[in-house]
Amino acid sequence: MAEEKDMKKKTKKTTTKKTTTTKPKKKTTPKKVEVVEEKKVEIVEEKKDDTILDNVVDTVKDVADAATAPVVEIMHGNIPKKPSAIIYLLVLFFLGLIVILSIYSYFHPLKELKTLNFSYIGLYEEPMIYDDYYRISTEKEFETIFPDQKEMYLDFDQYQYVVLGLTYDSCREKNIKISGYEMQGSTMKVTIEYEASCGLCAPQYVYYLLKLNKDLVFDDLTYDYVALNNPHCRQDIAYKPMIYLYPTKEVDVTVQLGNPDVLLTTYPPYQDGWRVTAYPDGTLKDENREYYGLFWEGDHHPTSMKKDGFVVKGKDTLSFLEEKLKVLGLNDQEANEFIVYWYPILKQNEYNYIRFETMDEINRYMPLTITPEPQSIIRIQMDYKPLTKPISVVEQTLTTPVREGFTVVEWGGSKIKD
């Protein structure tokens, strides 16, 4: 009996200890964990029942895990004795990718272009350079061209610098900016975006500084102007006729347009003519300021296509204008002004019918009187009509004028009415 009592006491003590140790566990939150897990399962199951996409995602993940598992094993040093077909495919894939990237980087120098950077210099009323771009060789040279930009830091030890010049018409082009670039062989093509509008203002000049690696070599740089919209401007307007004066010496000149009633916009303001002092380099001055040309636009009504002219693909507009404007007697700066204005308009059409009016046709529409009388007058009026497909026309014969003595040049254009 005594032994039984002792055993009961031991048993009772042991039982008490077990009860004491289990009580704190009952105060923890195992039930909450279980409830949360159950809710998670229920939510997942509901999604699987309601959405097929999740099944697809899970399947893709499983396939991806299976495909990358051999690679992970290899990275951890567990190289299988008998590589699977997946490993062979992955090795071939990565080798092919390396080859492709090597070839691409050879023809398209990504490394050099990564450091290519455009910095805004400023907006000027007069041209600071007379080419589309200009390579800067020293910091002093940059300061000579842009004396107001001496605070710009240039590191010629590591980089080369190129000034990009854009002609800007604040009435016709809004928010002009450089949006990108690409290498086409040895030519760098810079894309210019702007919001197109109607009207005419005096041109201004926007300049950017291009910084690029010193070892990047390019032979030429071109611009691709992209209009972000297509405004519906009046078709019966002679847009942006521009007059340049090149006397052989400084002289006071009076310029009068013979049909002033059709004028819509002029700059400087036209008051029974323009009276300016002209210089041999084309600079014009009046009592208010300095100009490089005289601007006007007016009602003009080309109503139909002629038998002669040219049919030009939109994408071929640039080379066409460069060729024909040279034949018609424009110098590089004048042709550049013409192309900057008209190229973005013409290139967006599938085809264009283009014809240059004769001197007699231009003089009938807008007679031009200049005192003193110039020795050479070049007047270009381009009429165009967008086409969806090519048509047959007789190719227009163009004659190259002679530029000698006091020379006057004018260019403009109009859209033929539908």
pLDDT digits (tens, 9 = 90+) for 244-300: 999 999 999 999 999 888 888 888 999 899 999 999 999 999 988 899 899 988 876
Residues in the chain, total: 418
The answer to whether the beta carbons of residues 342 and 370 sit under 8 Å apart is no
- pLDDT, average across residues 61-74: 56
Task: Please name every residue paired with 255 in a beta bridge, in sequence order, or none if there are none.
Answer: 274, 370
46-50, 103-107, 188-192, 235-239: which has the highest mean pLDDT?
188-192
Q: Where are the domains of the chain?
A: 28-102, 112-227, 237-415
Any idea which of 8-12, 193-197, 251-255, 275-279 has the lowest mean pLDDT?
Answer: 8-12
Distance (Å, whole) CA 129 – CA 165 = 7
Positive or negative torsion for Cα 144, 286, 237, 357: negative
Per the listing, tokens 């950077």 go with 117
Tokens at 135, concatenated: 């390579």
* String of DSSP letters for 54-96: HHHHHHHHHHHHHHHHHHHHHHTT---SS--HHHHHHHHHHHH
- pLDDT, average across residues 329-356: 91
* Confidence band for 88, pLDDT divided at 50, 70 and 90: low
- pLDDT, average across residues 316-328: 95
Q: At what angle do helices 332-346 and 317-327 cross, to 10 degrees?
A: 150
The model's pTM = 0.50
3-class secondary-structure state, position 358: coil
Strands (DSSP E) found in 104-219:
117-124, 133-136, 159-168, 173-184, 187-196, 204-213
Is a pLDDT exceeding 60 seen at residue 386?
Answer: yes
Any idea which of 39-48, 243-252, 267-276, 309-318 has the lowest mean pLDDT?
Answer: 39-48
Distance (Å, whole) CA 239 – CA 307 = 23
- pLDDT, average across residues 221-234: 78
Distance (Å, whole) CA 225 – CA 192 = 5
Is a pLDDT exceeding 70 seen at residue 27?
Answer: no
Tokens at 264, concatenated: 């819509």
Return the pLDDT at 263. 85
pLDDT: which is higher, 185 or 273: 273
Any idea which of 12-16, 34-38, 286-290, 412-416 has the lowest mean pLDDT?
Answer: 34-38
pLDDT digits over 126-177, tens only? 788 877 889 998 989 999 999 998 888 888 888 899 999 887 777 677 788 8
